[in-house]
Protein backbone atom coordinates (compact mmCIF):
# COMPACT_ATOMS: atom_id res chain seq x y z
CA UNK A 1 0.00 0.00 0.00
CA UNK A 2 2.80 2.42 0.91
CA UNK A 3 4.46 1.96 -2.48
CA UNK A 4 1.22 2.78 -4.29
CA UNK A 5 0.61 6.07 -2.47
CA UNK A 6 4.17 7.35 -2.96
CA UNK A 7 3.81 6.72 -6.66
CA UNK A 8 0.45 8.53 -6.80
CA UNK A 9 1.78 11.77 -5.29
CA UNK A 10 4.37 12.61 -8.00
CA UNK A 11 1.79 11.82 -10.69
CA UNK A 12 -0.68 14.15 -9.01
CA UNK A 13 1.95 16.90 -8.88
CA UNK A 14 2.76 16.45 -12.55
CA UNK A 15 -0.93 16.67 -13.45
CA UNK A 16 -1.42 19.82 -11.34
CA UNK A 17 1.68 21.57 -12.67
CA UNK A 18 0.85 20.83 -16.31
CA UNK A 19 -2.68 22.14 -15.79
CA UNK A 20 -1.19 25.24 -14.20
CA UNK A 21 1.21 25.69 -17.11
CA UNK A 22 -1.71 25.42 -19.53
CA UNK A 23 -3.71 27.95 -17.54
CA UNK A 24 -0.76 30.36 -17.53
CA UNK A 25 -0.22 29.87 -21.24
CA UNK A 26 -3.91 30.43 -21.90
CA UNK A 27 -3.89 33.57 -19.80
CA UNK A 28 -0.85 34.94 -21.62
CA UNK A 29 -2.63 34.38 -24.94
CA UNK A 30 -5.72 36.42 -24.04
CA UNK A 31 -5.15 39.84 -25.64
CA UNK A 32 -8.35 41.39 -24.27
CA UNK A 33 -6.61 43.42 -21.59
CA UNK A 34 -3.96 44.71 -23.97
CA UNK A 35 -6.46 45.48 -26.72
CA UNK A 36 -8.10 48.25 -24.68
CA UNK A 37 -11.00 48.11 -27.13
CA UNK A 38 -8.99 48.34 -30.35
CA UNK A 39 -9.67 44.71 -31.28
CA UNK A 40 -9.88 41.65 -29.05
CA UNK A 41 -8.98 39.21 -31.83
CA UNK A 42 -5.68 40.97 -32.39
CA UNK A 43 -2.57 39.81 -30.56
CA UNK A 44 -1.15 42.92 -28.90
CA UNK A 45 2.38 43.35 -27.59
CA UNK A 46 2.78 44.95 -24.20
CA UNK A 47 5.68 47.33 -24.71
CA UNK A 48 7.42 49.26 -27.47
CA UNK A 49 10.59 47.22 -26.88
CA UNK A 50 8.68 43.97 -27.26
CA UNK A 51 7.08 45.36 -30.42
CA UNK A 52 10.46 46.19 -31.96
CA UNK A 53 11.78 42.75 -31.07
CA UNK A 54 8.74 40.98 -32.59
CA UNK A 55 8.83 43.16 -35.72
CA UNK A 56 12.48 42.30 -36.36
CA UNK A 57 11.96 38.61 -35.57
CA UNK A 58 8.81 38.17 -37.66
CA UNK A 59 9.71 40.61 -40.46
CA UNK A 60 6.37 42.38 -39.98
CA UNK A 61 5.88 46.10 -39.51
CA UNK A 62 5.03 47.39 -36.04
CA UNK A 63 1.96 49.60 -35.82
CA UNK A 64 1.92 51.88 -32.79
CA UNK A 65 -1.31 53.56 -31.71
CA UNK A 66 -0.92 56.35 -29.16
CA UNK A 67 -4.18 57.14 -27.38
CA UNK A 68 -5.70 58.19 -24.08
CA UNK A 69 -8.74 56.80 -22.29
CA UNK A 70 -10.44 60.18 -21.79
CA UNK A 71 -9.82 61.51 -25.31
CA UNK A 72 -13.05 61.67 -27.34
CA UNK A 73 -11.16 61.61 -30.65
CA UNK A 74 -9.31 58.46 -29.56
CA UNK A 75 -12.61 56.82 -28.55
CA UNK A 76 -14.19 57.65 -31.90
CA UNK A 77 -11.20 56.33 -33.85
CA UNK A 78 -11.01 53.22 -31.66
CA UNK A 79 -14.65 52.39 -32.40
CA UNK A 80 -14.17 52.78 -36.16
CA UNK A 81 -10.90 50.80 -36.00
CA UNK A 82 -12.44 47.94 -33.98
CA UNK A 83 -15.49 47.71 -36.25
CA UNK A 84 -13.54 47.56 -39.51
CA UNK A 85 -13.03 43.95 -40.56
CA UNK A 86 -10.29 44.67 -43.07
CA UNK A 87 -8.23 46.57 -40.51
CA UNK A 88 -8.78 43.92 -37.85
CA UNK A 89 -7.75 41.14 -40.20
CA UNK A 90 -4.64 42.95 -41.46
CA UNK A 91 -3.68 43.96 -37.92
CA UNK A 92 -3.93 40.37 -36.71
CA UNK A 93 -2.17 38.72 -39.65
CA UNK A 94 0.33 41.19 -41.07
CA UNK A 95 1.39 43.52 -38.26
CA UNK A 96 2.88 43.53 -34.81
CA UNK A 97 0.36 45.63 -32.89
CA UNK A 98 0.87 47.97 -29.95
CA UNK A 99 -1.45 50.52 -28.41
CA UNK A 100 0.06 52.86 -25.84
CA UNK A 101 -1.57 55.13 -23.31
CA UNK A 102 1.74 56.78 -22.41
CA UNK A 103 4.65 58.24 -24.33
CA UNK A 104 7.74 56.19 -25.07
CA UNK A 105 11.23 57.55 -24.60
CA UNK A 106 11.77 57.13 -28.36
CA UNK A 107 11.64 60.67 -29.75
CA UNK A 108 11.23 59.23 -33.27
CA UNK A 109 7.66 58.36 -32.30
CA UNK A 110 6.78 62.00 -31.71
CA UNK A 111 8.42 63.84 -34.62
CA UNK A 112 5.73 66.51 -34.66
CA UNK A 113 4.53 66.44 -31.07
CA UNK A 114 2.91 64.20 -28.48
CA UNK A 115 -0.74 64.39 -29.48
CA UNK A 116 -3.35 61.63 -29.54
CA UNK A 117 -4.60 59.73 -31.36
CA UNK A 118 -1.49 59.11 -33.40
CA UNK A 119 -0.64 56.04 -35.43
CA UNK A 120 2.86 55.32 -36.64
CA UNK A 121 4.53 52.47 -38.45
CA UNK A 122 7.97 51.01 -37.76
CA UNK A 123 9.41 48.58 -40.27
CA UNK A 124 11.33 45.40 -39.35
CA UNK A 125 14.64 47.20 -39.86
CA UNK A 126 13.41 49.29 -36.87
CA UNK A 127 13.03 52.45 -38.94
CA UNK A 128 10.16 54.72 -37.93
CA UNK A 129 8.27 55.44 -41.14
CA UNK A 130 7.97 59.21 -41.02
CA UNK A 131 6.81 59.00 -44.64
CA UNK A 132 3.55 57.19 -43.80
CA UNK A 133 1.31 60.00 -42.64
CA UNK A 134 -2.35 60.82 -42.31
CA UNK A 135 -4.27 63.59 -44.04
CA UNK A 136 -3.57 66.50 -41.73
CA UNK A 137 -0.52 68.73 -42.08
CA UNK A 138 -0.78 70.07 -38.52
CA UNK A 139 -0.88 66.59 -36.96
CA UNK A 140 0.80 64.28 -39.40
CA UNK A 141 0.00 60.95 -37.74
CA UNK A 142 -3.55 61.50 -36.60
CA UNK A 143 -6.58 59.81 -38.12
CA UNK A 144 -10.28 60.47 -37.67
CA UNK A 145 -13.03 57.85 -37.99
CA UNK A 146 -13.77 58.96 -41.56
CA UNK A 147 -10.08 58.40 -42.41
CA UNK A 148 -10.33 54.62 -41.96
CA UNK A 149 -10.02 53.95 -45.73
CA UNK A 150 -6.90 56.12 -45.73
CA UNK A 151 -5.49 54.22 -42.75
CA UNK A 152 -6.10 50.95 -44.61
CA UNK A 153 -4.13 52.34 -47.57
CA UNK A 154 -1.31 53.32 -45.20
CA UNK A 155 -1.28 49.84 -43.67
CA UNK A 156 -0.94 48.39 -47.18
CA UNK A 157 1.78 50.93 -47.93
CA UNK A 158 3.68 49.86 -44.80
CA UNK A 159 3.51 46.25 -46.00
CA UNK A 160 4.56 47.15 -49.54
CA UNK A 161 7.56 49.16 -48.36
CA UNK A 162 8.94 46.12 -46.56
CA UNK A 163 8.75 43.94 -49.62
CA UNK A 164 10.44 46.52 -51.82
CA UNK A 165 13.16 47.61 -49.40
CA UNK A 166 14.34 44.49 -47.56
Domain CATH code at residue 65: 3.40.30.10
Is 64 contained in some domain?
yes
Q: Which residues is 38 bridged to in the sheet?
A: none
Instruction: State percent of the chain over pLDDT 90.
Output: 73
Q: If you write DSSP's letter for every residue of 61-101 in order, what string do you get?
A: -EEEEE--TT-HHHHHHHHHHHH-HHHHHHHHHH-EEEEES
> What local confidence, expressed as pLDDT, does residue 10 receive?
54
3-state secondary structure of 77: helix
Say if residue 31's pLDDT is above 50.
Answer: no
Please confirm whether the linkage preceding 81 is cis (ω < 30° from 0): no
Is 123 contained in some domain?
yes
Q: How many domains does the chain have?
A: 1
Q: If you write DSSP's letter for every residue of 26-56 in order, what string do you get?
A: HHHH--HHHHTTS-TTSPBPSSHHHHHHHHH
pLDDT digits 0-9 by tens, 39-54? 999 999 999 999 999 9
The domain in which residue 97 lies consists of 48-159
pLDDT digits 0-9 by tens, 53-105? 999 999 999 999 999 999 999 999 999 999 999 999 999 999 999 999 988 88
Is 5 contained in some domain?
no
Is 13 contained in some domain?
no
Is 61 contained in some domain?
yes
List C-alpha distances in Å: 119 to 4, 26, 32, 92, 135.
62, 29, 20, 16, 12
Average pLDDT of 128-155?
96
Is 8 contained in some domain?
no
In degrees, rounded to 5, the angle at the alpha carbon of residue 157 between the alpha carbons of residues 32 and 140 is 80
Average pLDDT value over all residues in the chain: 86
> What local confidence, expressed as pLDDT, does residue 46 receive?
95
DSSP conformational letter for 140: T
Amino acid sequence: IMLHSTLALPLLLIAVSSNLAMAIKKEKRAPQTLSRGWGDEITWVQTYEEGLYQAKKSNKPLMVIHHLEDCQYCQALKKAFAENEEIQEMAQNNFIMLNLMHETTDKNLSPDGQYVPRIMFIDPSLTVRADITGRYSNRLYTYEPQDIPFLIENMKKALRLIQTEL
